[in-house]
Amino acid sequence: MDQSNVHQIMSKSPLAAAAVNHKGNYKMASKPRVKLPKSAKKGQVVQIKTLIPHKMETGIRKDKKGNKIPRHIINKVEATFNGEPIITADLHPAISANPYFAFYARIEESGIFKFVWTDDKDKAVTTSKAITVA
Amino acid sequence: MSNTIYNEADDRERRNILRLLGLGSIALATGAIINSEAVANQQTDTYLTKLSGVSKYNTGKITIKTPSIAENGAVVPITVSIESPMTTASYVKSIHIAADGNPNPEVASFHLTPSSGKAEISTRMRLRKTQNVVAVAVMNDGSVQRASNNVKVTIGGCGG
């Protein structure tokens, strides 16, 4: 995938804008984006959207010399609320670059969402977001 | 005279042989295509059976939403939703997504809990070519729902 192509795909989603900085350079797993409401009613089911910049190298592609480019993907995503698991995902190379997920959670109390992305090099990126029950 | 008759018969035989050869090669070619598709389907089935533990599926409660034509195979949005109350008594335990025309059938597996509230997930995946996308959902009672969607891909998404 060349840079212009990346731009094209990225420009479709405002969430995805984080993946390419102002020079158009590609950033590795760094700044995850999480979108969820700041407050909810007790028992309400809210949608959570997450996106993290990562090239998700498949391990099948070859470089110009014909050598295989080693696989390097985010293979696990976990979401917890006050320590209780909400959803976990096992990922494979067939997930697009800059993995995006949307899922739901039922909110019974105020608390903190924690999201962890782990890649093939065991590098983990964590972010948290609070939600208040009004 | 006899010479002419002999030639005609010979000619007919020659044509028949040619015709047979032609038919044979067509049969071989279709055979190869059907085989490679069957192998891909079988790989997907084996993979999903391994994950869900069953080979017989129910249908009806699970829906896959994908574009019917994906212009860019590198980014194909998909939403899988299952009708479920998502309570501790009845909830969706996991959702597995597979694609039968990719080098490997695996796409992603999601493990849900009753706190997920709603059995619906969305993501974006890569598709190498036009193919079927299959999703299965394992319920907490062990039953498994399955659905598949055909997605036409204009530009393949495996890069390189």
Q: Evaluate whether residue A12 is within a structural domain.
A: no
Say yes or no for a CB contact (<8 Å) between B121 and A61: no
The predicted structure's pLDDT at residue B25 = 62
**For the purposes of burial, counting CB atoms within 10 Å of the CB of B117, is it exposed (0-12), middle (13-18) or buried (19 or more)?**
buried
Assembly ipTM: 0.77
pLDDT tens digit sequence for B74-122: 999 999 999 999 999 999 999 999 999 999 999 999 999 999 999 999 9
Residue type for B17, please? I
> In this complex, is the C-beta atom of A93 within 8 Å of any C-beta atom belonging to chain B?
yes
For every residue of chain B, DSSP letters joined together read: -HHHHHHHHHHHHHHHHHHHHHHHHHHHHHHHHHHHHHHHHHHHHHHHHHHHS-S--B-SSEEEE--SEEEETT-EEEEEEE----SSSS-EEEEEEEETTSSSSEEEEEEE-GGG-S-EEEEEE--SSSEEEEEEEEETTS-EEEEEEEEEEEE-SS--
Say yes or no for a CB contact (<8 Å) between B74 and A100: no
Q: Evaluate whether residue A112 is within a structural domain.
A: yes
| Candidate from B74, B123, B126 with C-beta closest to A101 | B123
Q: For residue B80, what are the domain limits?
A: 37-153
Say yes or no for a CB contact (<8 Å) between B115 and A92: no
Q: Evaluate whether residue B133 is within a structural domain.
A: yes
A17 falls in which pLDDT band (50, 70, 90)?
A: very low
Say yes or no for a CB contact (<8 Å) between A96 and B159: no
The CB density around residue B151, as the number of other CB atoms within 10 Å, is 23
| CATH of residue A94 | 2.60.40.10
Q: For residue A78, what are the domain limits?
A: 28-133
The predicted structure's pLDDT at residue B43 = 87
Q: How far is A22 from chain B (nearest CA, A)?
A: 22
The predicted structure's pLDDT at residue B30 = 59
The predicted structure's pLDDT at residue A26 = 47
Q: Evaluate whether residue B109 is within a structural domain.
A: yes
Count of the separate structural domains present in chain B: 1
Interface test with B, best of A3, A8, A42, A103 (most B CBs within 10 A): A103
Residue type for A3, please? Q
Q: Evaluate whether residue B9 is within a structural domain.
A: no
| CATH of residue B81 | 2.60.40.2470
Question: If you measure CA to CA, which chain B residue comes closest to A47?
Answer: B118
The predicted structure's pLDDT at residue B156 = 77
Q: Evaluate whether residue A73 is within a structural domain.
A: yes
Q: What is the mean pLDDT of residues A29-52?
A: 92
Q: Evaluate whether residue A8 is within a structural domain.
A: no
pTM to 2 decimal places? 0.77
Say yes or no for a CB contact (<8 Å) between B106 and A100: no
A1 falls in which pLDDT band (50, 70, 90)?
A: very low
> In this complex, is the C-beta atom of A58 within 8 Å of any C-beta atom belonging to chain B?
yes
Residues of A in contact with B113 (CB under 8 A): 84-87
pLDDT tens digit sequence for B49-61: 989 888 889 999 9
Count of the separate structural domains present in chain A: 1
A12 falls in which pLDDT band (50, 70, 90)?
A: very low
The H or E element spanning position A14 is none
Residue A42 has pLDDT above 80, yes or no: yes
Say yes or no for a CB contact (<8 Å) between A102 and B124: no
Q: Evaluate whether residue B80 is within a structural domain.
A: yes
The predicted structure's pLDDT at residue A76 = 96
B38 falls in which pLDDT band (50, 70, 90)?
A: confident
Q: Evaluate whether residue B61 is within a structural domain.
A: yes
